[in-house]
């Protein structure tokens, strides 16, 4: 893309956040030249949710988690992540 705009300098992180909330990054970044990075020490943010499950399903999940010696919530997260990652590969 030849019409890449220069990213402005920001006084604060809040100013930068406000800018990117309303701007299309394709006007400022040539994503065709982007490369993947690894941020191994970055901890993903989490959000608490409430999820209603049938009791017998939750009991079966707890049994599987117990077999693996991990908390059942961790097993649920692992299963969800695995399924989402698998679906995105399609």
pLDDT confidence of residue 54: 97
CA distance 42 to 63: 31
- pLDDT at residue number 62: 97
Q: pTM for the whole thing?
A: 0.52
The maximal CA–CA distance of the chain, rounded, in angstroms, is: 58
Supply the pLDDT for residue 1.
46
Q: Where are the domains of the chain?
A: 1-32, 48-90
- Give the pLDDT of residue 88: 80
pLDDT along the chain (90 residues), means of 10: 84 94 92 89 89 97 97 96 84
- What number does CATH give the domain 48-90? 1.10.1220
**pLDDT for 86:** 87
Rounded to whole angstroms, the Cα distance separating 20 from 13 reads: 11
């Amino acid at each position: 893309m030849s019409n890449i705009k220069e990213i402005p300098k920001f006084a604060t992180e809040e100013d930068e956040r406000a800018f990117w909330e309303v701007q299309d990054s394709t006007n400022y970044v040539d994503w065709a030249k982007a490369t993947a990075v690894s941020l191994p020490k970055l901890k993903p943010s989490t959000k608490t949710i409430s999820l209603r499950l049938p009791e017998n399903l939750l009991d079966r999940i707890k049994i599987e988690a117990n077999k693996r010696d991990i908390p059942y919530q961790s097993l649920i997260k692992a299963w969800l992540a695995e399924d989402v990652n698998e679906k995105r590969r399609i």
